[in-house]
Amino acid sequence: MYVCICKSVTDNQIRRAAARGVDNLLELQQNLGVATGCGKCAGAAQDVLDKANALEAGPVFYVPSSA
């Protein structure tokens, strides 16, 4: 799905950038040009990036402490 129409950036491209270590919108702008045209896609691009980075980090497990 296209996230940034101005620069033809897809959600898959953003996920691949996250896998390469991109972890913020500024780096995403520098790497893919996303949100550098009209800027309306910035929120959606940030959401895709955040979700991709959360998946890269892996699951978070709760380990209760003994009381």
Residue with tokens 């896609």: 41
Distance CA 1, CA 10 (A): 5
Tell whether the model's pLDDT for residue 58 goes beyond 80: no
Give the three-class secondary structure for 32. Answer: helix
Ordered structural domains, the chain, with CATH: 2-57 (1.10.10.1100)
Q: What is the pLDDT of residue 59?
A: 65
Q: pTM for the complete prediction?
A: 0.82
Judge whether residue 67 has pLDDT over 70. Answer: no
pLDDT in tens, 13-32: 999 999 999 999 999 999 99
Q: Is residue 48 a contact partner of residue 11, using CB atoms and an 8 Å limit?
A: yes
What percentage of the chain has pLDDT greater than the value 90? Answer: 79
Mean pLDDT score across all residues of the chain: 91
Backbone angles phi, psi at 2, to 5 degrees: -75, 130
